[in-house]
Structure formats: C-alpha cells, structure tokens
C-alpha cells in the first residue's frame, strides 16, 4: 500500500509516536531538535527523547534515540524539557516521570549534559517542592539579565495551574523561588511553559489543561500566550491568554533563539483525542503525528507575529500565477504553497482542499476552516474573525495544512487525511485576485 499521507516539510518520526518538540538548540554548527518519542508503538505508553539534526533548517536527519528512560528518576518516561548550550556543553533539562507500585506519579526535574551531542550523561535531579502536586513538568531554561531562569509547568495542591520558577547562576545549582505566574486561565494544570524575551516585553507561552480532579484525567487542553514583563521573580501579564493558533492541531510549542537572533517556534501538530489517534491512517504505516513547520516569532506594533520560516520561502519554486475566478491545481507527491494576494474589494471566497476533504471559507468577516473528521466521520469547524483579508499563505503538505493570514499574527493548523493519491485543490471567488502556486 502506498503511503499518500507522508509529509514533505513537516517532520515525522521514522516509526512510532512523536509528540512535543524538546531541547531546541544550536550546538557545534548544528540545529538540534529533540522530541518526545515512543519508538515502539503509536501510543503514549513509553516516552524517550528522539533527535533530528540539521545545518540549514531545511534538511533534517533523524538520529534515533538520544535519552532513554533508564534510571529510577525517569523510569516511566523522559518527559519534555529544554536545552542550553554554554561552555562547549549541551545541557538538557527534562522531567523524569516515575510511577510507584500503586501507579502514583512522582516527577523529577533532571539535568543531563553532553560534550559531543551524541552521549548524554545524567547528572542531577530535584524533587517537587511543597505546595505542588506531582503534575510538575517541562522545565524551560533561559537567561534573564545575569541569571538563569528555569520555569516549570505546575499544579498547586489546590489544583490550580501555575508556572513555577527556579534560578541559578551556573546552570548546576538551582534554587526554588516559588510561583512565577498564576492565572485562572491556566485552569487546573499548566504544561510546557516557554518564555520569549523581546527585552522591552516578555511573552510567556503555556498550555492550559482542564482536568478532572478525582480521576486526574485531562478533559481539554489549549495553547496560548500572555504578553507581560518579568519583575524580579514574577511574570506580570498585561494581556489575557491569547491563542497561538486558531486551527485544530497545535500543542506544546517550543522556541529556539537562533544564532542570528531570530526566535523560531515549532509546535506539536496535534491536539488529537485518543479516538482520533487510534483511527489516524498513518498508523497503518507505523507512525503517528508530525511537527508544524518552523515559525519566526516577532513582536511588532504591540502584536505577536508568526511568519513561516524564510528559508522555506526562499527555497520554494514558482509553479504558476493565476487571476482566474476558479483555479484548480493538482498535488501528487509534493508540498505546495498557495499564496493569495487579494485586491481591495475582497468578497467571499473558498479554498477547497482535496475535493472537499477540508475547506476554508471567507464569510462575513470570518475565516472558517472545516474538515471531515477521520474518526467521528463528522464535519468540524474552527474559525477566526478577521477585519480584512489581504494575503494568505497556505502550506499544503500531504496530510498537513498551515494557513498564515495577512501579516501572520493569526495562523490555523490542520491535519487531514484525504484518500486520493492525486489531490485536486480549488480556489474560487467572485472577483479576481492574484493566486500564486509554489512547490516547496
């Protein structure tokens, strides 16, 4: 059976299940992108860190396993975390998940390090501080002024989501400073906090989970950010929790500060339920999930901007430019970029993906994305309100679509699984606009 879902520009695991991007860093002239990985099965029963590397952000090589759950302090999973390169060493900060005989969770924040980027030596660990539950994970380390900060996604014993803080002057010895940020918008649990420092302001990214207190199970989860400022050992938000992505499939983003100063963000391109994961057609080919394409993050005119990685745009090849009211194009085994530049009198339009497997409609100031759900068989929608659509950049991979709107402050992500080897996509509109198709 031919795999018609294998993506070209979205990173996928060679086998098994991939989730969060982890430990993003630049070490020895190479980009390191670790990830949560069950290399054995397409489920969440086992977690280690796998690794992709690249020297140009375009061509990635999967290097296999990097860190295994092989000590008493990470026996039930090498969970998410981050990396820092300093003093010719790559330092990893991750959560070791453990369970006792009764199945009760205990988490450790663990530190490992490598001098060659191949062998990781586990060094030290610390336990969950008082006042928090063992849902305490995903350390993210960054430098702020002259100090190292480690923020952790936590849950108080009152069952509220918070971000907690450790600080260090040398990356080895850490001291707990208490709660860095709390908000009712972090619901019952915070996962994967990240911080972007734009000097005059800071952005705190977080995933918030609604949880059942008795069963300790997840009811729903969302990803967003707060704009604000660090003041001593606290983050003071000046906005509410704003969405990072308006589509279906986006979670656990992580940022990398590239050597040229750009902040690059990858997300796990999934927010699938257990039923959707089970029914996902890529499982027949032995793997599940992908990452988003990298996004360049900026803060301009008071807004967070996410632009598609410029290396991807620069490497694209123009296929055709068109101003017809109906534009049909076929996709076989290539990723495409559909760029639409609207003239001033924008009217309603539709992009039909793979003969109706998914659609994007513009109607009454809203962009509505709909797809046929492969598990429930129902049509489901997401939408974003938009004053005026000026341009769209739509990255159409073989089972992943990412839509960047206007100056890219708003993005929608979607997995979909059309069952045609040749997919026909259509753009139609009552007026004429400039539509350009690129191969990626």
Active site residues: 20
The 8-class DSSP code of residue 158 comes to T
Report the residue number, 206 or 403, with the smaller CB distance to ligand FRU. Answer: 206
Residue 39 binds ligand FRU, judged by CB under 6 A: no
Phi-psi group of 246: left, alpha or beta (phi > 0 → left; psi -120 to 50 → alpha; rest → beta): alpha
Distance CA 72, CA 77 (A): 10
How many other C-beta atoms are found inside a 10 Å radius of the C-beta of residue 430? Answer: 9
Footprint (CB under 6 A) of ligand FRU, residues 154-193: 191-192
Between 191 and 245, CB nearer to ligand FRU: 191
| Closest to ligand FRU by CB, 91 or 137 | 137
DSSP-based three-state secondary structure for 219: strand
Binding of residue 74 to ligand FRU (CB under 6 A):
no
Shorter beta-carbon distance to ligand FRU: residue 39 or 47: 47
137 lies in the site for ligand FRU, by CB under 6 A: yes
Q: Which two tokens stand for residue 294?
A: 């990298």
Report whether 230 contacts 144 (CB < 8 A).
yes
- What number of chain residues touch ligand FRU (CB under 6 A)? 13
Q: Is 173 exposed, middle or buried (0-12, 13-18, 19+ CB in 10 A)?
A: exposed
Whether the CB-CB separation of 303 and 410 falls below 8 Å is answered with no
Regarding 20 and contact with ligand FRU (CB under 6 A), the answer is yes
Cα 247-251-256 angle, rounded to 5 deg:
115
Residue 80 or 194 with smaller CB distance to ligand FRU = 80
Binding track over 79-108 against ligand FRU, x by CB under 6 A: xx--------------x-------------
Closer CB to ligand FRU, 268 or 349, in the complex: 268
Are 316 and 438 contacting, i.e. CB atoms less than 8 angstroms apart? yes
If one asks whether residue 136 binds ligand FRU (CB under 6 A), the answer comes out as: no
The mark string for 232-251 relative to ligand FRU (x by CB under 6 A, - otherwise) is -------------------x
Decide if residue 398 touches ligand FRU (CB under 6 A). Answer: no
413 touches ligand FRU by CB under 6 A: no
Kindly state the tokens that stand for 373. Answer: 């759900």
Minimum separation from the CB atom of position 207 to ligand FRU (A):
7
Q: Residue 45 burial by CB count (10 A; 0-12/13-18/19+): exposed, middle or buried? A: exposed
Smallest gap, in angstroms, from Cβ of residue 402 to ligand FRU? 19
Please tell me the distance from the alpha carbon of residue 20 to that of residue 76, in angstroms, as a whole number: 17
> What is the distance between the alpha carbons of residues 243 and 227, in angstroms, rounded to a whole number?
12
The CA angle 303-415-313, to the nearest 5 degrees, is 55
**Residue from the set 10, 47, 262, 362 that interacts with ligand FRU by CB under 6 A:** 47
36 lies in the binding site for ligand FRU (CB under 6 A): yes
Q: Which residues bind ligand FRU (CB under 6 A)?
A: 19-20, 36, 47, 79-80, 95, 137-138, 191-192, 251-252
């Amino acid at each position: 059976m031919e795999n018609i879902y294998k993506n070209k520009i979205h990173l996928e695991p060679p086998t098994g299940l991939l989730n969060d991007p982890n430990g993003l860093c630049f070490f020895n002239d190479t980009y390191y992108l670790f990830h949560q990985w069950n290399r054995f099965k397409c489920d969440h029963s086992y977690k280690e860190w796998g690794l992709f590397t690249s020297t140009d952000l375009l061509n990635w090589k999967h290097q296999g396993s990097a860190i295994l759950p092989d000590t008493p302090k990470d026996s039930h999973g090498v969970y998410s975390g981050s990396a820092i390169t300093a003093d010719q060493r790559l330092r990893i900060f991750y959560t070791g998940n453990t369970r006792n005989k009764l199945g009760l969770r205990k988490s450790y924040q663990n530190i490992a390090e490598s001098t060659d980027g191949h062998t990781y030596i586990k060094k030290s660990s610390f336990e969950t501080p008082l006042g928090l539950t063992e849902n305490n994970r995903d350390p993210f380390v960054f430098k702020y002024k002259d100090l190292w900060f480690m923020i952790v996604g936590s849950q108080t014993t009152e069952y509220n989501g918070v971000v907690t803080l450790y600080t260090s002057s040398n990356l080895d010895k850490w001291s707990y400073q208490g709660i860095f940020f709390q908000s009712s918008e972090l619901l019952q649990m915070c996962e994967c906090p990240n911080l972007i420092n734009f000097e005059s302001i800071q952005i705190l990214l977080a995933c918030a989970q609604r949880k059942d207190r008795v069963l300790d199970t997840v009811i729903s989860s969302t990803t967003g950010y707060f704009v604000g400022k660090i003041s001593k050992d606290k983050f003071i938000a000046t906005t509410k929790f704003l969405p990072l992505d308006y589509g279906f499939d986006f979670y656990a983003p992580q940022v990398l500060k590239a050597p040229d100063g750009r902040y690059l963000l990858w997300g796990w391109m999934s927010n699938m339920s257990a039923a959707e994961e089970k029914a996902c057609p890529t499982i027949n080919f032995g793997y599940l999930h992908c990452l988003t394409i990298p996004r360049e993050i900026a803060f301009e005119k008071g807004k967070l901007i996410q632009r598609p990685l410029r290396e991807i745009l620069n490497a694209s090849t123009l296929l055709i430019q068109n101003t017809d009211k109906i534009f049909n194009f076929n996709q076989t085994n290539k990723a495409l970029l559909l760029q639409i530049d609207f003239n001033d009198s924008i009217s309603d339009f539709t992009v039909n993906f793979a003969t109706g497997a998914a659609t994007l409609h513009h109607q009454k100031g809203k962009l509505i994305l709909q797809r046929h759900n492969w598990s429930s068989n129902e049509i489901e929608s997401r939408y974003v309100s938009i004053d005026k659509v000026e341009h769209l950049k739509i990255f159409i991979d073989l089972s992943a679509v990412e839509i960047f709107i206007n100056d890219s402050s708003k993005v929608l992500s979607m997995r979909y699984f059309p069952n045609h080897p040749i997919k026909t996509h259509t753009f139609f509109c009552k007026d004429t606009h400039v539509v350009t198709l690129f191969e990626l």
